[in-house]
Structure 1
Amino acid sequence: MKIICAECSQEARNNAAVFAPCACGGLMQVEHDYAGYDVEELKHRFDERLRDRMSPYASGVWRYKELIAPELEDTSIVTKYEGNTPLYDANEPLLQYAGIKHLQFKAQSQNPSGSFKDNGMTAAVSHGHSLGYRHFACSSTGNTSASLAMYAGWIGAEAHVYVPGNDIAMNKVLQTLAYGAHVYPFEGTYDDGILYLEREADSLGYYVCNSINPLRIEGQKSIIYEIAHQLAWKLPDWIIVPGGALSNATALGKGLMDLYSLGFIHHLPRIAIIQAEGASPFHKFMHDQGNPHGTLQPEEHPYTIASALNIGNPPSWRKAMRYIQQCNGITASVSDEEIMNAKAIIDASGIGCEPASAATLAGLRQLVENQWIHPEERAVCVLTGHMLKDTHAIESYHLSSTCKNPFANPLQPIHLSI
């Protein structure tokens, strides 16, 4: 395993604690040597591991260890048996709302800490654990912090979490505190927290677990591996994913290219990255500039009710752009109103999700209406967080006395005659 800059191929140290951007501005990424891999033998091995219940290979991430971190010793793996999340067929109300006939939802919300972050965090913490680190850190709007705190607590290590003081979901902060993390609110944005850790982590003895850590991306690739495995290695036409820091889009794109180059799959599905209108610098970049080598313009004051998407300067935008181009993908942005209406439909279907996840259904609906996606095509929406991650959003939508939301399900007080 080599760790190199995704832009200029400058090699980094495998034992680094902070994988800061390269001098050229590119992020680091893992490069594997898959030469000599027998795809059919690997498929058989992955099938066999589905029977496992107690070893690290019972994890929906480490089941695919050969494609993620083959050199990592099993004794260093820190796992809560993450992954193994269901792929749900959409019911009729969901199909009608999306305007498409073939739709499934990958419920990453059913991970141990309630979000997709566990897929990447198990790989990052395992790498840091293998290097002997006992202090792990991140900047977070919520889900990353909860996941890191859970894994650090599991091995008796310390988590140090830097959270913006505004526009975050308090449920996620409370979850992080409950897992025992040291939580440091600060004035500023997620991006400010990243810059602080890039500068100070070495002196503080922190191993940084944000998405600038390339091991996070390797773990998150397992989401696409698991979708492909669940569908007998025949992927749909579209993968729809929410876009905040863009690490998930990057990971899914990297995973798709791995599967395609190795011969696990024989066609590349298209990726659609959905951002919220109040925090959509990547969507604007992809649509407003004609030069593919241009520079994304950060949004200084991002805001969306989908707090997990409230990121104005996504660190992984260059990688996401590359995978969008390789997969013939597109981007879209949706309003908070569209996000919350889609969330209400997903919740009422019995699946449930946090607002950021619902951006996928809202974006799919928009793309079908605008004829970017044909109603006969097949799509998978990735749901990234559990519905209880942000109960304030649920309360505001269903119990607001001033706003009549179209899918609100208000309380219905009655008088019981006893």
Structure 2
Amino acid sequence: MRFICMECGCEASGSGQALYRCECGGLLDTVLDDRGLDADRLKRLFDVRLSERNTPLSGGVWRYKELIHPELPMDSIVTKNEGNTGLYEHADLREYAGTRRLWLKAQSENPSGSFKDNGMTVAVSHGLWLGYSRFACTSTGNTSSSMAMYAALAGAEAVVYLPDQGVSLSKVLQTEAYGAQLVRIEGGYDAGIRYLEEHAEAMRLYVCNSLNPLRIEGQKSIAFELAHQLDWRMPDWIVLPGGALSNAAAMGKGLDELKRIGLIASVPRIAIVQAEGAAPFHRMLLNRESSLRPVDQPATIASALHIGNPPNWPKALRYAIERARGVTVSVSDRDILEAKARIDRSGIGCEPASAAALAGLRRLVADGTIHPEETAACLLTGHLLKDPEAIALSLSLWKDSKQTVQPAPRPLEPD
């Protein structure tokens, strides 16, 4: 596996050690050696693995090992059969969005309840292969609970640097339940990232945030599994929320590789949705700026989007915007909660950050960016119970929108 700097183009050296950034400070990108990969053979191989049971290759990530981490030994893989998540259609949600057809990819069905598992299984497995026994991240919730779960599964130690703002209590409790050591750090997500970049090597900590290029490699599997579920015929658009922008980068990178290998005929366009109070990437593109200006005090009900300085914006720009002809949009917290209420009522359910995808799709159809005759897939990134504090707010908004008086619950005799 080769690591190339996105800034200077140099190849990073250092076999057997953790690599996150180039010496020049640029993010590292992995390069897949796709020589000898035959699309038809891969399709048959992936279909065969769908029928496997209780092997690493039966999951929705390692099924595509040849496209993710072909060099990793099988006995280094730490997995809970992540991926294998549902793809749903619902008439009410399609009408609400305004597209001819709509699929919802529920990454919320992953073992720890979020899409982070797709990348974390690869990051932790790679770290173990390198000889690390202590794993670390800074997180508003989903990353930490996923990392703590895989570390516990591997019998390793997890250390989480917890921001003092924008964190969901339920995600923190889930992280602690898996046995992680929690360290409160002043400042938000961005302060935690800076701390780890400065001190992780000295403390022999393997960093599992999305600046780790192996996280992106694992999250590419979402694109692979979506294509596989749709029999390699892609929708016109893929819409997803944008916090740290690792998912946007991974989706664009995965689609680019699928097209290059010949597994799909064309690359769908990508739409990245940010919350209005935490939308530095959207504002950068809206203002046609060449670099991202962080939001010092991000503010949104969607804790997973509560990130003012997304570390993966250069990768998202390259793969999701430039190569996938992507667009960005921002939506209000009210839009997010309204979309969440509808997804919850559909029987699928999601956390607020996930609902931003549906809210953004609706906005893009309304403003003419996406045509009503086009098709779309929305990525639901987190489980309904990830942010229980937001459930009451979305229910209140739903009731207000229906303009009905809700009767008080009354006891009923069983008969």
Q: Secondary structure at the match of 1:221?
A: helix
Instruction: Give, in whole Å, the separation in 2 of the partners of 1:223 and 1:199.
Output: 31
CA deviation profile, 1:61-112 (whole Å, cap 9, x unmatched): 00000000001000000100000001101x2221121111200000000000
Spell out the pairing of 1:256-275 with structure 2 (5 A cutoff).
256-275=255-274
Q: Secondary structure at the match of 1:374?
A: coil
Of 297, 309, 329 in structure 2, the residue corresponding to residue 313 of structure 1 is: 309
**Alignment-derived partner of residue 291 in structure 2:** 295
**Alignment-derived partner of residue 85 in structure 2:** 85
Q: Contact 1:114–1:385 (CA<8 Å) still a contact in 2?
A: yes
Q: Secondary structure at the match of 1:104?
A: strand
Instruction: Give, in whole Å, the separation in 2 of the partners of 1:375 and 1:64.
Output: 33
| 1:411 CA drift (Å) | 7.1
**Alignment-derived partner of residue 250 in structure 2:** 251
Instruction: Give, in whole Å, the separation in 1 of the partners of 2:248 and 2:123.
Output: 17
* Equivalent AA in structure 2 for residue 27 of structure 1: L
Q: Against the structure 1 CA distance between its residues 407 and 119, is the aligned structure 2 distance closer, same or farther, given a 3 Å change threshold?
A: farther
| 1:412 CA drift (Å) | 3.2
* Equivalent AA in structure 2 for residue 341 of structure 1: E
Q: Does 1:362 align with 2:359?
A: yes
Pick which of 405-414 and 108-117 moved more: 405-414
| 1:407 CA drift (Å) | 5.8
Q: Contact 1:18–1:202 (CA<8 Å) still a contact in 2?
A: no
Q: Against the structure 1 CA distance between its residues 407 and 337, is the aligned structure 2 distance closer, same or farther, given a 3 Å change threshold?
A: farther
Q: Does 1:32 align with 2:27?
A: no
Q: Against the structure 1 CA distance between its residues 259 and 416, is the aligned structure 2 distance closer, same or farther, given a 3 Å change threshold?
A: closer
Q: Against the structure 1 CA distance between its residues 411 and 264, is the aligned structure 2 distance closer, same or farther, given a 3 Å change threshold?
A: farther
Q: Contact 1:17–1:206 (CA<8 Å) still a contact in 2?
A: no
**Alignment-derived partner of residue 44 in structure 2:** 44
Instruction: Give, in whole Å, the separation in 2 of the partners of 1:43 and 1:252.
Output: 19
| 1:408 CA drift (Å) | 9.2
Instruction: Give, in whole Å, the separation in 1 of the partners of 2:283 and 2:407.
Output: 40
| 1:234 CA drift (Å) | 0.6
**Alignment-derived partner of residue 401 in structure 2:** 406
| 1:186 CA drift (Å) | 1.8
| 1:7 CA drift (Å) | 2.5
Q: Secondary structure at the match of 2:348?
A: coil
Q: Secondary structure at the match of 1:84?
A: coil
| 1:44 CA drift (Å) | 0.6
Q: Does 1:385 align with 2:382?
A: yes
* Equivalent AA in structure 1 for residue 9 of structure 2: S
Spell out the pairing of 1:179-328 with structure 2 (5 A cutoff).
179-289=178-288, 294-323=290-319, 324-328=321-325
Instruction: Give, in whole Å, the separation in 2 of the partners of 1:332 and 1:35.
Output: 37
Q: Secondary structure at the match of 1:109?
A: helix
Q: Secondary structure at the match of 1:43?
A: helix
Identity %: 58
CA deviation profile, 1:162-199 (whole Å, cap 9, x unmatched): 11122211110000000110011222010110110011
Q: Contact 2:280–2:294 (CA<8 Å) still a contact in 1?
A: yes
Q: Contact 2:166–2:188 (CA<8 Å) still a contact in 1?
A: no
Q: Against the structure 1 CA distance between its residues 36 and 379, is the aligned structure 2 distance closer, same or farther, given a 3 Å change threshold?
A: same
Instruction: Give, in whole Å, the separation in 1 of the partners of 2:16 and 2:236.
Output: 39
| 1:23 CA drift (Å) | 4.3
| 1:397 CA drift (Å) | 3.1
Q: Contact 1:341–1:407 (CA<8 Å) still a contact in 2?
A: no
Instruction: Give, in whole Å, the separation in 1 of the partners of 2:174 and 2:315.
Output: 30
Q: Contact 2:119–2:215 (CA<8 Å) still a contact in 1?
A: yes
Q: Against the structure 1 CA distance between its residues 408 and 241, is the aligned structure 2 distance closer, same or farther, given a 3 Å change threshold?
A: farther
| 1:10 CA drift (Å) | 2.0
| 1:3 CA drift (Å) | 1.2
* Equivalent AA in structure 1 for residue 309 of structure 2: N
Q: Against the structure 1 CA distance between its residues 249 and 407, is the aligned structure 2 distance closer, same or farther, given a 3 Å change threshold?
A: farther
**Alignment-derived partner of residue 70 in structure 2:** 70
* Equivalent AA in structure 1 for residue 42 of structure 2: L
Spell out the pairing of 1:98-137 with structure 2 (5 A cutoff).
98-137=97-136
Q: Secondary structure at the match of 1:319?
A: helix
Instruction: Give, in whole Å, the separation in 2 of the partners of 1:356 and 1:136.
Output: 25
Q: Against the structure 1 CA distance between its residues 408 and 117, is the aligned structure 2 distance closer, same or farther, given a 3 Å change threshold?
A: farther
Instruction: Give, in whole Å, the separation in 2 of the partners of 1:361 and 1:411.
Output: 30
* Structure 2: runs of 5+ lacking an equivalent: none
Q: Against the structure 1 CA distance between its residues 121 and 408, is the aligned structure 2 distance closer, same or farther, given a 3 Å change threshold?
A: farther
Give the RMSD, CA atoms, in angstroms. 1.7
Q: Against the structure 1 CA distance between its residues 100 and 16, is the aligned structure 2 distance closer, same or farther, given a 3 Å change threshold?
A: same
Q: Against the structure 1 CA distance between its residues 250 and 417, is the aligned structure 2 distance closer, same or farther, given a 3 Å change threshold?
A: closer
Q: What is the TM-score when the length of structure 2 is the normalising length?
A: 0.96
Q: Contact 1:268–1:327 (CA<8 Å) still a contact in 2?
A: yes
Instruction: Give, in whole Å, the separation in 1 of the partners of 2:73 and 2:29.
Output: 20
Instruction: Give, in whole Å, the separation in 1 of the partners of 2:251 and 2:340.
Output: 23
* Equivalent AA in structure 1 for residue 330 of structure 2: S
| 1:14 CA drift (Å) | 4.0
Q: Against the structure 1 CA distance between its residues 416 and 72, is the aligned structure 2 distance closer, same or farther, given a 3 Å change threshold?
A: closer
Which runs of 4 or more aligned residues in structure 1 lie more than 3 Å from their structure 2 counterparts after TM superposition? 407-412, 415-418
Q: Contact 1:345–1:407 (CA<8 Å) still a contact in 2?
A: no
Q: Contact 2:259–2:267 (CA<8 Å) still a contact in 1?
A: yes
